[in-house]
Amino acid sequence: MTRTASNAATAEPDASSAAASGVEVGDNSLDQLIGYNLKRVYILLQMDFREALAADDLSARVFSALSVTVEHPGISQSDLARQLGIERSGLVAIVDLLEQRHLVQRVAVPGDRRVQALHPTDAGRETYARALATVHRHEEAFFDMVTPQERDQLLAILRKIRRTAE
Amino acid sequence: MTRTASNAATAEPDASSAAASGVEVGDNSLDQLIGYNLKRVYILLQMDFREALAADDLSARVFSALSVTVEHPGISQSDLARQLGIERSGLVAIVDLLEQRHLVQRVAVPGDRRVQALHPTDAGRETYARALATVHRHEEAFFDMVTPQERDQLLAILRKIRRTAE
DNA sequence: CCGGGATTGTTTAGCTGCTAAACTGTTATA
DNA sequence: TATAACAGTTTAGCAGCTAAACAATCCCGG
């Protein structure tokens, strides 16, 4: 600050170039970038998702951990972390939460005293079933401006990218 | 804790259900969810993006702010925040950074002493041009497993979602 | 012309969701 | 049996946001 603009950087900044009026949205290079649009859509989706799963008091991360645990009972935390693409250290808090809420149990494995196998409880399975239904309804609603074909295309493309880049 | 699993929740957790072996990846309900795949792809993209723009020492957020400023010289911080979909308070640090690096200037506006119009410097325009080229090359490389048609489809779908949901 | 309300930029505190590094206990292997 | 590898955990820290409060300034109705 202090320096109140004059010969500072060439092209005289006269504060009259584009501002003042409305600044219409949607005419940026950003809007031509897949990455930027992906980010914006992801943010929208997360907000919606949070709201949708608020009833079951589940965040996206906790939901995904519960999902894999229910569908792979007995999975180790290391394998779960690998599957979710996060660090083992980051998973601890998530499993702590699931265990506190009696949705998942850490069970000692006879053969190997290092690993804690994760098993869903009945409540865990029920909560998951309910939450999954909610999520499906949520996706239906969120993507309702997109045709079923486009939804299929979107999913297929995203999966293709993951398969290659992951 | 303390309660070491026994009759805790019904179905006896015997730690032999699915673990132990390999736990193949890709057979979860999660992988059928657009939202989850979107998240994973977004994370991959962000990692790649960070690396690509490390040369110019720009994060995604700073790059996007610079982009809009260059393409809308004289824009106010409030309008910029609106355009980027973030809070004004969150933008302050970004603009601070851009100004410290002499890529953007805050310029007092004669008519309204509240607003600080943002103007790119020559260095800002140059850096942006270089970074934008880098980003384009990055997107080419990142999405090279996806056909040009699929890329167009992806972009179109994402933009459609934003147009409606935003 | 003046007083209430809106707006701009800003600071501060706090949240979420991660990682990286270090550590313990345990198992596998050379 | 020493050494490496692995599982889970704790701690510290970062990025990238939001929400709330605030001062300065502008706008507008009466």
Measure the CA–CA gap between B65 and A62, rounded to whole angstroms: 32
CB atoms within 10 A of CB A77: 19
Across the interface, which of A15, A73, A74 has its CB nearest the CB of B117?
A15
Query: Which one-letter amino acid corresponds to residue A19?
Result: A
Count of structural domains, chain A: 1
| Strands A116-120 and B104-108, sheet pairing | unpaired
The answer to whether the beta carbons of residues B109 and B115 sit under 8 Å apart is yes
Residue A88 lies in a domain: yes
Cα angle B99-B101-B105, degrees, rounded to a multiple of 5: 30
Query: Which one-letter amino acid corresponds to residue B54?
Result: A
Across the interface, which of A8, A25, A75 has its CB nearest the CB of B19?
A75
Residue A97 lies in a domain: yes
pLDDT confidence band for B18 (50 / 70 / 90):
very low
Name the β-bridge partners of A75: A118
Residue A148 lies in a domain: no
In the 25-84 segment of chain B, residues within 7 Å (Cβ) of strand D are: 59-61
Judged by phi (left if over 0) then psi (alpha if -120 to 50, else beta), residue B20 lies in: left
Residues of B in contact with A115 (CB under 8 A): 19
Please report the pLDDT score of residue A10 as a whole number. Answer: 34
Measure the CA–CA gap between B83 and A40, rounded to whole angstroms: 11
- pLDDT tens digits along B112-166: 999 999 999 999 999 999 999 999 999 999 999 999 999 999 999 999 999 998 8
Residue A6 lies in a domain: no
Partner-chain contact B15 A44, CB within 8 Å = no
Measure the CA–CA gap between B61 and B84, rounded to whole angstroms: 9
Name the β-bridge partners of B117: B107
pLDDT confidence band for A26 (50 / 70 / 90):
low
| Strand stretches in A4-158, DSSP E | 104-108, 116-120
Report CA(A137)–C1'(D18) in Å, whole number. 27
Measure the CA–CA gap between B87 and B80, rounded to whole angstroms: 10
Report the residue count for chain B. Answer: 166
Decide if pLDDT at A23 tops 70: no
**Protein residue at shortest CA distance from C1' of C25:** A114
Residue B160 lies in a domain: yes
Residue B51's domain comprises 31-165
Decide if pLDDT at A130 tops 70: yes
Please report the pLDDT score of residue B26 as a whole number. Answer: 57
Decide if pLDDT at B23 tops 80: no
- pLDDT tens digits along B27-84: 789 999 999 999 999 999 999 999 999 989 999 999 999 999 999 999 999 999 999 9
| Mean pLDDT for all residues in chain A | 86
Residue A108 lies in a domain: yes
Residue B120 lies in a domain: yes
pLDDT confidence band for B1 (50 / 70 / 90):
very low
If we measure between CA atoms, which residue out of B36, B42, B17, B9 comes closest to residue A63? Answer: B36
Residue A90 lies in a domain: yes
Decide if pLDDT at A137 tops 60: yes
CATH of the domain at B61: 1.10.10.10
Query: Which one-letter amino acid corresponds to residue A49?
Result: F
Percentage of residues in chain B having pLDDT higher than 70: 84
Tokens of A37: 């649009």
Tokens of B132: 């934008």
If we measure between CA atoms, which residue out of A135, A151, A82, A137 comes closest to residue B26? Answer: A82
